[in-house]
Amino acid sequence: MFSRVAASVVSVSAAATSCCVFDFNPQTRFKLSLYSNSPSTCNNNKNKNNILTMDNRPSSSLVTRASANPLQNADDLIDSVETFIFDCDGVIWKGDSLIDGVPETLDMLRTKGKRLVFVTNNSTKSRKQYGKKFETLGLSVNQDEIFASSFAAAAYLTSINFPKDKKVYVIGEEGILKELELAGFQYLGGPDDGGKKIELKPGFYMEHDENVGAVVVGFDRYFNYYKVQYGTLCIRENPGCLFIATNRDAVTHLTDAQEWAGGGSMVGALCGSTQQEPLVVGKPSTFMMDYLSDKFGITKSQICMVGDRLDTDILFGQNGGCKTLLVLSGLLLSHCRCYEFVYA
């Protein structure tokens, strides 16, 4: 699973700083497959074993290191946890293409009695819509096993007893609207505002709904200046208006051909115009981890987070006190070539 040939996986302890690479092909029963871990090879881009090198990561948040502790027995990792949380984009699928080996690996873990949960920062779909995508890809996944950041936004508002007489302005797509509706919240915006334009003429004053108590920003393919201005007015001028982001991902997998600007680009526009930082409910915020732990009654040390991003998936697991597993099937492959890394 998780790579073009036989998925290489990096295991990063929630407590330790080192990591290693091993084969995640169920037919070889997680055969250990370590690559060169000498400092010299980390800087040699011609070395075929240099799977990961930190090219485009901020030096303040990520550093390279020469040592790595090998994972001696992958079965020990599997036996040490009861729940595996999987990211979706770049781990289960890329665009609309299922990643090789995923069905076999999920079946193997279910056979071992492991609980599987699927978490995604992509807010464009609701849990029900993601359930249909899993089904289309031939995967049997229950809706209760799916947690999208669209749902996290609605769940957060519910958790703080957000007043039902207040409205939510949405910069995002249908997934957020559906989850807000299921939670009983009033909303406006979303795709309907995608075609709206502002006629900038002398004396023009843009009105906004003063009853908006929260602005939720997620990935939005219909993003425009109208939405930026409307959301800015609500946050700046409505007393106590919340600024909530489903995620701050820099890039996302819209297709399997390349990376695309992610939800963080939309959130960044509002950060710039309001001079405020949002409350993030998606990864790496611990809100979803706390929610899942409470919902299923799981001790966090009994969870392993599986993802393809250091800055969201792995940090999400580390922040939540879980074990983490970094796969080389998604975003990381285009950013890195040497697997020896830690969070500073």
User: Which residues lie across from 168 on neighbouring strands?
Assistant: 187, 214
Two structure tokens written together for 190: 């979303």
Q: Is 259 a catalytic site residue?
A: no
| Torsion 125-230-249-243 (CA) sign | negative
How is 163-200 classified by DSSP, letter by letter?
-TTSEEEEES-HHHHHHHHHTT-EEEEGGGGGG-----
Amino acid identity, residue 296?
Answer: F
E strand or H helix at 94: strand 93-94
Query: Given the DSSP bridges, would you call strands 303-307 and 323-327 parallel, antiparallel or unpaired?
Result: parallel
82, 199, 207, 340: the active-site residue: 82
C-beta atoms surrounding 269 within 10 Å: 18
For residues 155 and 149, is the Cβ–Cβ distance under 8 A? no
Contact 86, 116 (CB under 8 A): yes
Q: In angstroms, how far is CA 61 from the centroid of its own chain?
A: 18
What does the block give as tokens for 147? Answer: 């947690």
List phi, psi (to 5°) of 232. Answer: -60, -45
CB 209 within 8 Å of CB 167? yes
Give residue 148's identity as a one-letter amino acid code: A
> How many CB atoms neighbour CB 296 within 10 A?
14
Known catalytic residues are: 82
